Structure 1
Amino acid sequence: MPPPPRGFANPNLRRSSHISSLSSPFPHCFSFVSSPPPHRPLSPRAQTETTDADTPSRSRSRSRFLRAMAKRRKQCLVGAVVPRLLHLVVLLLALDLARRCRAASLSSSSSPDANAMSELARALSGVPSSWKTGSDPCDPEWDGVTCSAGRVSRINLASRGVSGTLPDSLNALTSLASLQLQRNRLSGPLPLLPDLASLQSLFLDGNAFDFLPNTFFAGLSALQEISLDDLPLAPWNLSEDLAAAVGLSELSASNASLSGTLPDFLGSLPNLNVLRLSYNQLTGPLPPSLAGSSVQQLLLNNQQSRDKLSGRIDVLSAMPQLTMVWLQSNSFTGPIPDLSNLTALESFNVRDNALTGVVPPSLTACPTLRNATLSNNLLQGPFPQFSSKSVTLDIDKGNQFCNSGDSPCDPRVTALLAVAEGFGYPAVLAKSWKGNDPCASWLGVICNAQKDIIVLNFGSQHFGGVISPAFANFTALRQLYLSNNGLTGSIPDSLTQLLQLQLLDVTNNSLSGKIPAFSRSVTLKLDGNTKLGSDSDPSGGSTSSPSSGMPGSASGSSDNSGGSKSSSAAMIAGIIVAVVVLVGCSVALFMHYRKKKQEKKFGRVPMGTPPNEPENVSIGVDGMNGNGGGLGMLYSQSSAGSTGSYMVEAQGMHISIQSLRRATNNFSEDYVLGRGGFGVVYKGDHNGTLIAVKRNQCDLMGKKGQEEFKAEIDVLKKVKHRNLVTLLGYCDDGQERLLVYEYMSGGTLGDHLFEWQSRNEPPLTWKQRLTIALDVARAIEYLHSLAQESFIHRDLKPSNILLDKDLRAKVSDFGLVKLADDNQKSMMTRLAGTFGYLAPEYATTGKVSTKVDVYAFGVILMELITGRKVLDESLPPEDSHLVALFRRGFSHEKNKFLNAMVDQILELDEEAHQSLAEVADLAWHCTAREPYQRPDMSHAVNRVAPLVEQWRPTNCAVEDDGDSSLNLTERLERWRHDNTDSTTESLGYAFK
């Protein structure tokens, strides 16, 4: 066969190659092209003949063939691809359906947790990135989430910076056992969680939640740990719902606005180990149900309510598991109980209460004790000696211990404390019974010249308890008054051993039992004791009742046998009685004459009646010498006709008007130191010692000025401290009312702060200002919590702070503001004090507490820092009030504000800057608007004292320079000896 013509390719081969390339994805559709259909071969001649003639025909055939093949290819593609595409679509739909079914299956098994967690994630900000809404929190587990069996069992987002409000859907997490959201920025109200019956741990402390529903604990019966510390909640109470959480081991809600009383159910929680409810507003007593509980840590300190926690703490003796007891800064009273059952006690803090009695040996001998803090109570007896030397102690401040170390207490003190123990150690006795000498004006105790206790008068004191057998220790006792109390039990037989006893008055109590057999010389007053035996021993003392006649009369008839012997005895007895009556009348007339003579010389001095006597009592004075020294015997005669003797402090501080005229050159104008709203202050010279004499203007006093003057003298005699100006004496003569004080040569703090340039004196350094601040703080601390009674100065300001030559400060003008009548212009207001230093609640409502002095102290600190007066009208109105300006600036940019406000005259190094910032912070807290937000003065002392470099206290915190048995010359000599650093220089100021 000849080769094909040039330019003509074999059509079969071309078609085969082309179709093969097209059909490669679907080779089965074009398999025919590899074997073309057979045809009859042409002869060579025919081929030659037809080649040229058939060329157009061949071209047409080829075109038809190609069209046919394209159509066939299209049909093949449709027939092959469409089924495959349909199959693929069906497969994808099946997979999607399976996925949806699986998701639906998962959703149906954990939808409560998933939905609740999604809502929680949406409600909070700052949650971990794995917290994606719509996803399963357990597959995989979200960050901070723990699951068990596909359920959320624990959420821990502590300290993650999370904010927002907890949604109500949290209640759907019914398998939740632990919720730890502490130390975040969560706010709003807490949701109710009644369905979380599995919740064991709840930690929400350190957030900003503002409301806790009353039924918050309902349904949370599995709780074991609760922490709600440091939450600014609205006031709330511990509801009874919490009693169902019998597995509760720790309840902590300090500084959480918890109010009300401690519920009884706390003692019924068998597993409660930690009860921490400090810094709240709780009131009332410790529940008795705590006895026998498993509590190990009892922290109820620093309640902020006005009344605080109160009552006795006897229940502690029945809490053997205790290791830590913090009850400080409350109002607990009564003695510290026997703690011998507390074998694991490590820390015991009852500071700043009103506890009385003797520190029990069970505390001092506790082998496990590490810390004991007992300061600022009314504890008495010997100074406690702890067996372990490793115990950290704070017990020597503000108590009434009768000794300071190894020296023993006076046996009379020990016996009196045993008597007080029978009464339950009343606070009124603890406040009065100070020191180691019961004859030194102790309440209810009267001594003779030999220092023997001859009268004990505890009548009408509302004492409870029993009559102690320790009364038998007072062998010289003549009269014992116990009437009008709530005493129970019996009259001790030991009282019959008091051979000098003349009167026993126990009327109007609840005594019972047999009446002991007293001597016939003893008058018994027993009325008002319905359960007390009515019959006494025939040889016993006489009883006095409304039907028994005169006191001392014997009951029963006499036997006439014996004839003249009986008559003779009766005659002798009558003569003796007549002589005694005659002598008694003579003594009474002499005493009356002497009293009148003293009144004529010194002026009558009204004295307060004993607390248990009626008001209609006449009082006389005996035993005063010409100088007004010594102790006198007061006698009182009540309207009922009974007599009793009372030893009280005589007027040894009384100074004659002639002496003061000589000392002041007849009150010369040249001796004037200053003038005030109530009078003039003079400088005086008494035998070479300078004194300050305040001469009150009687026309500024109201009709009760005399009584108030006497009352203030009594108060000023009780407050003796190195940082209080000493009252040396007084004069009450006709229209003259004068007070004599120690002389202070350094002037006032106001002079040195605000007038130093005009006085040509150097300004106070920061060290001097700190020392002055500490002196003032200690003075006010003493008045508030360390004196015999709690006093409020009410007019603390720079002009009432006097300085000596060494610039050591003493507070003056205590209590005298009450002398003025309300209608006098000098008062400017019914309130005592000075505007600018008045606490807000005092200025607006008249309510006064120790916190008004704290406020004034804070103002003085601001003045010490800035050198500015509290009220400065020369400044723009918005800057004229120092307190408002200081608090506003200090609250925002402390450092910048202090740099701008500090007194520019001060030269401050880095250490001084730090101490100044500390004092500024204290001033800010002291001037808080609400009283409960201010610290007490003990806290202020503790803040300032470490800042004073090389501060040295004097030998004793309380100076006893007020012995009233000394005349003025003797008192000045003692005062001059005890105050060798005090000045006798010229120029000084007092009580402006």
Structure 2
Amino acid sequence: MLRRHHLLLPLLLFSAVLAAGDDGATVLNIASSFRPPPTGWSSTSSDNYCKWPGITCDTSNRVISINLSSKSLSGTLSPDIAALSELRTLSLQRNALSGTVPSFANLSSLQEVYLDSNGFTSISPNAFSGLTSLQTLSLSNNAGLSPWSFPDLSQSTGLVELQLDNTSLFGPLPNIFASLSSLKNIRLSYNNLNGTLPASLGGSMIQNLWINNQAGGFTGTIQVLSNMTQLSQVWLHKNMFTGPIPDLSKCLDIFDLQLRDNQLTGPVPKSLIDLPALKNVSLSNNKLQGPFPIFPSSVEKVVVDGNNNFCDNDGAPCSPQVTTLLEIAGGFGYPASLSDSWSGNDACQWPFITCDAQNNVITVNLAKKNLVGMISPAFVNLTALKNLNLNDNQLTGSIPDGLTQLSSLRLLDVSNNNLTGDIPKFSGLVNFNFSGNSLLGKSSGSGEGGSASGASGGGSDGNLKSGGSSKNSIAMIAGIVAGVLIFVAVVCFVSYKCVMNKKYGKFGMVEGSDAEKGVVKSPANSGGMNGNGGVAVEMQSQSSGNHSDRHFFEGGNVVISMQVLRQVTDNFSEANVLGRGGFGVVYKGELHDGTKIAVKRMECVSTGTKGMNEFQAEIAVLTKVRHRHLVALLGYCINGNDRLLVYEYMPQGTLSQHLFEWRENGHAPLTWKQRVTIALDVARGVEYLHSLAQQSFIHRDLKPSNILLGDDMRAKVADFGLVKNAPDGKYSVETRLAGTFGYLAPEYAATGRVTTKVDVYAFGVVLMEIITGRKALDETLPDEKSHLVTWFRRVLVNKDNIPKMVDETINCDEETMTSIFKVVELAGHCTAREPYQRPDMGHAVNVLGPLVELWKPSTQQDDEHSGIDLHMSLPQALLRWQADEGTSTMYGDISYSDTHTSIPAKPSGFPDTLSSSDGR
């Protein structure tokens, strides 16, 4: 027996040595895959690998932890990592690793994986399956990953934290969350996830749920939240969720609820307003209805306004008829179509509703509206109702018995639905049509029993009538007469248009002496409408004698004559030159009312019909854009081949003057607080421009990128892309960066390809200027320092050198340096060499926003009150523009009605048109 023990001991020692040798070889392979190997690591020998910096081993020399976060590593992560069978923690976050994330499958000891903020490009199949001990998985901010679906984590039942935001995830979420009973935090923001929220979320213990800012967006309802009783922070903004906000009375720990920028409908429930822990709530840019919600003072930040459809703005109850109709809409699930059309507090102004002289609702016509759900018993509260049309929908449930109590009811049509239950008994005065509901009147289990004979007035076709023949005859005659009148009106209109086209040509050539004087007039003025009402405006070339390029142009844009611009700029005097660039020359001017303007006289513009159409399409948008961080385009002028744009004037110059020439201009140096605030303003302004570029309602022939480019293809961002520092309005921040190589992304400098990522790169350079107080390109410095981005990257290799790069005028206390490090990191991400590695501007806003919040007072004003909401979609912005101008139009299948906004379409007192007599 003793001999056996003597033989066994060497075998055990040999096995331990062999195992240790295996980890040594694996670590050596991992070291060789890094570029360069980490400090203190060898790529040629695995001697003493357990003592290498960042490596922790157990008593058997098995690697249990690798911690190399923020070590400026590049290269790849070797797939041999899977051979470290005892590995528990892997921390490689905030490096520059690329290539494929290797498989960790079946590493039963692995508990924590941190790979966030790298440059990985793909994920190995089943990389995270079989990780039975996994507690934390973080891959955040690997935006260059190829699209991949949600990983198999079904065996990771001890998972506590999952961070996969900004990792190119796409597709639906699996229904696995009931088995992940330990999961507390899940962050899936900034991906391309879609589909509905899985029901298993309702049985989870999740506390923090971040699934905001999906490219396509989750759809369906958020009803599952009502069963997620452990929730504390919920970020669902910027998706496509529909339906009402659910009852959250069981979610007592929610303190932060972000539901903005969805398509939620229905009233804000009292259970949300009464949440005891709530501190921060955002509901703006939805389709919410009912009374304006008033939250208690314990809620510190409330953002509710912004494109919702509340019946008022003061929190008072809605009118009784509006309240009833909203209850009726609730029976249909609060469809978005009714929210868009049923807004305000006067039901008699709503479509599909007719009222009598006493403002009582007498007709509700919701036929063929693709409605689902049930017929609400609330109809009984419309006591004057005469006609109710609900036919040709997909309604289920029964017909409420209460409808028989409506003494004025004369027409009820519920035909062609999926209704069930008994048929109520209506009086003989009611024309009742219930055909096309095969289960109506048939009780379950009774075979063919339950006929319609119990209802008054017979009719085997399901149409119960009283005096039907005479009424139908009258209705038919009225319909024929109406049809004839409509036909005659259409014929007259078409004939008129044909005559006008023959008289004035395709574009409506303008004749008369007024045009020769450069006066712009509205042909509809006599009718009480002006250019702001959407009436065609005659846009002249302002050149006497040649009328060939005068066109009718839709929109309420400010047209300024060439004579006026010559007068206010002293005939484009050199003394009034504000700047020059590849786009042309900018001149200072002052209108007769004292308004100071900046006039850009563009060069190298497109000519011909297509060029004119594109220019007009751009102007139609640009003159309507109002955002607190964008310098406004006030008007324009077309004079032959000249194109001139008129902007608001920024009297205190540009950011560059305050950064680099503050001594010469007699300014104090910018504080770090001011610089971060400016950076946030720039990010918000450019993010808004990008949101415009992503929309497609603009002119059919105008590519979205041209909204950012204007006619000058060399320009970096929009012709209206002058971002301004909003808090004090002191100066503009030029983000149009053409002609300065230091601002240009590599792909733009080589190929001229323009994307939003090119703007992100330029923004990163602006951040570098703000941090260092140095110009993007300074030829007065030695070659190795003249190009800011190249020098900045070299400094970032060793983060200990960062304090040395900071502008010496900044007071760098501990708090400031913490903030600076975050902005430095953001600048590095924004200027990544590959476009896919750069974030979008929304990410920049999210990074900079909390830094600025540190300096804000406790009672904060909403940033968007003085301009169009940064996060507003372009159709929503269009709605506000049209509301400003008192118009109503159709876009796609959505009707935009008049609403009120405090945002002016143009500065107060600025005229619709300006003639030579208006000049000074």
Report TM bin, short chain.
Answer: 0.5 to 0.7
Report the secondary structure of 2:591's partner residue.
Answer: strand
Q: Which residue number in structure 1 is paired with residue 272 of structure 2?
A: 364
Shift in Å, 1:316: 1.9
> Is 1:744 aligned to 2:649, yes or no?
yes
Shift in Å, 1:708: 3.7
Q: Which residue number in structure 2 is paired with residue 933 of structure 1?
A: 839
Distance 1:804 1:204 in 2: 42
Mapping 1:179-328, distance limit 5 Å: 179=88, 202-205=111-114, 214=125, 225=135, 227=137, 243=154, 245=155, 248=158, 250=160, 252=162, 254=164, 259-261=169-171, 264=174, 266-267=176-177, 269=179, 271=181, 273-274=183-184, 276=186, 278=188, 283-286=193-196, 288-290=198-200, 292-297=202-207, 299-301=209-211, 307=215, 310-314=218-222, 316-317=224-225, 319-324=227-232, 326-328=234-236
Q: Which residue number in structure 2 is paired with residue 104 of structure 1?
A: 7
Q: Which residue number in structure 1 is paired with residue 849 of structure 2?
A: 942
Paired amino acid for 2:793:
R
State the TM-score, normalized to the length of structure 2: 0.58
Report the secondary structure of 1:704's partner residue.
Answer: helix
CA deviation map 1:488-514 (0-9, x unaligned): 6699999999x9999x9x99xx96669
Paired amino acid for 1:670:
N
Asked if the contact 2:708/2:719 (under 8 Å) is kept, the reply is no
1:722 to 607, 619, 628: 628
Quickly say closer, same or farther: Cα 1:748–1:278, change in 2 above 3 A: same
Shift in Å, 1:743: 3.7
> Is 1:800 aligned to 2:706, yes or no?
no
Shift in Å, 1:715: 2.7
Asked if the contact 1:855/1:934 (under 8 Å) is kept, the reply is no
Paired amino acid for 2:764:
G
Distance 1:623 1:455 in 2: 37
Distance 2:26 2:259 in 1: 45
Distance 1:475 1:179 in 2: 71
1:892 to 797, 801, 805: 797
The structure showing larger relative contact order (alpha-carbon pairs under 8 Å, at least 6 residues apart) is 2
Paired amino acid for 2:765:
V
Quickly say closer, same or farther: Cα 1:885–1:392, change in 2 above 3 A: same
Report the secondary structure of 2:571's partner residue.
Answer: helix
Asked if the contact 1:513/1:531 (under 8 Å) is kept, the reply is yes
Distance 1:501 1:744 in 2: 64
State the TM-score, normalized to the length of structure 1: 0.54
CA deviation map 1:182-232 (0-9, x unaligned): 789999999989988xx5873444799999864566666x65856566798
Mapping 1:305-454, distance limit 5 Å: 307=215, 310-314=218-222, 316-317=224-225, 319-324=227-232, 326-328=234-236, 331-335=239-243, 337-340=245-248, 342-350=250-258, 354-358=262-266, 360-361=268-269, 363-365=271-273, 367=275, 369-374=277-282, 378=286, 380-381=288-289, 382-386=291-295, 390-391=298-299, 393=301, 395-396=303-304, 400=308, 402=310, 406=315
Q: Which residue number in structure 2 is paired with residue 861 of structure 1?
A: 767
Q: Which residue number in structure 2 is paired with residue 69 of structure 1?
A: none
Paired amino acid for 1:202:
Q
Q: Which residue number in structure 1 is paired with residue 670 of structure 2?
A: 766
1:700 to 606, 629, 637: 606
Over the matched positions of the two proteins, sequence identity in percent amounts to 26
CA deviation map 1:874-910 (0-9, x unaligned): 777765543x3254134135575664574xxx74434
Paired amino acid for 2:269:
P
Distance 2:637 2:409 in 1: 40
Shift in Å, 1:766: 0.9
Shift in Å, 1:364: 1.3
Q: Which residue number in structure 2 is paired with residue 138 of structure 1?
A: none
Quickly say closer, same or farther: Cα 1:554–1:715, change in 2 above 3 A: farther
Shift in Å, 1:358: 4.7
1:670 to 560, 571, 584: 571
> Is 1:964 aligned to 2:856, yes or no?
no
Report the secondary structure of 2:766's partner residue.
Answer: helix
Larger mean CA deviation between 715-724 and 250-259 belongs to 250-259
Across the two proteins, how many residue pairs are aligned to each other?
Answer: 769
Paired amino acid for 2:628:
R
Shift in Å, 1:746: 1.1
Q: Which residue number in structure 2 is paired with residue 615 of structure 1?
A: none
Paired amino acid for 1:889:
R
Distance 2:403 2:690 in 1: 39
Shift in Å, 1:339: 3.7
Asked if the contact 1:335/1:425 (under 8 Å) is kept, the reply is yes
Report the secondary structure of 1:316's partner residue.
Answer: helix
Shift in Å, 1:954: 8.7
Quickly say closer, same or farther: Cα 1:269–1:954, change in 2 above 3 A: closer
Larger mean CA deviation between 844-853 and 318-327 belongs to 844-853
Asked if the contact 1:775/1:809 (under 8 Å) is kept, the reply is no
Asked if the contact 1:336/1:356 (under 8 Å) is kept, the reply is yes
Structure 2 spans left out of the alignment, 5+ residues: 29-38, 41-45, 47-55, 442-459, 510-521, 537-552, 697-703, 710-716, 869-879, 888-901, 911-920
Paired amino acid for 1:374:
S
CA deviation map 1:659-697 (0-9, x unaligned): x46744667753565677479767352445445566778
Q: Which of these two proteins has the greater Rg computed from alpha carbons?
A: 1
Q: Which residue number in structure 1 is paired with residue 530 of structure 2?
A: 628
Report the secondary structure of 1:380's partner residue.
Answer: strand
Distance 1:920 1:762 in 2: 28
Report the secondary structure of 1:284's partner residue.
Answer: strand
CA deviation map 1:943-972 (0-9, x unaligned): 563577899989933279994369xxxxxx
CA deviation map 1:646-666 (0-9, x unaligned): xxxx98845576xx4674466
Report the secondary structure of 1:323's partner residue.
Answer: coil
Distance 2:382 2:648 in 1: 44
Quickly say closer, same or farther: Cα 1:602–1:227, change in 2 above 3 A: same
CA deviation map 1:513-542 (0-9, x unaligned): 69999xx9x9x9x99x99999978586999
Asked if the contact 2:569/2:587 (under 8 Å) is kept, the reply is no
Paired amino acid for 2:885:
S
Cα RMSD after superposing both structures: 7.7
Distance 1:843 1:456 in 2: 61
Distance 1:531 1:408 in 2: 39
Shift in Å, 1:942: 0.8
Asked if the contact 1:682/1:693 (under 8 Å) is kept, the reply is yes
Paired amino acid for 1:938:
V
Structure 1 spans left out of the alignment, 5+ residues: 1-96, 128-132, 134-142, 543-552, 559-568, 607-619, 635-649, 815-830, 967-972, 983-992
Paired amino acid for 1:104:
L
Distance 1:428 1:812 in 2: 42
Q: Which residue number in structure 1 is paired with residue 540 of structure 2?
A: none
Distance 1:949 1:834 in 2: 35
Shift in Å, 1:778: 4.2
Quickly say closer, same or farther: Cα 1:181–1:576, change in 2 above 3 A: closer
Larger mean CA deviation between 738-747 and 854-863 belongs to 738-747
Quickly say closer, same or farther: Cα 1:669–1:368, change in 2 above 3 A: closer
Shift in Å, 1:361: 1.6
Distance 2:84 2:725 in 1: 70
Paired amino acid for 2:530:
G
Shift in Å, 1:266: 1.0
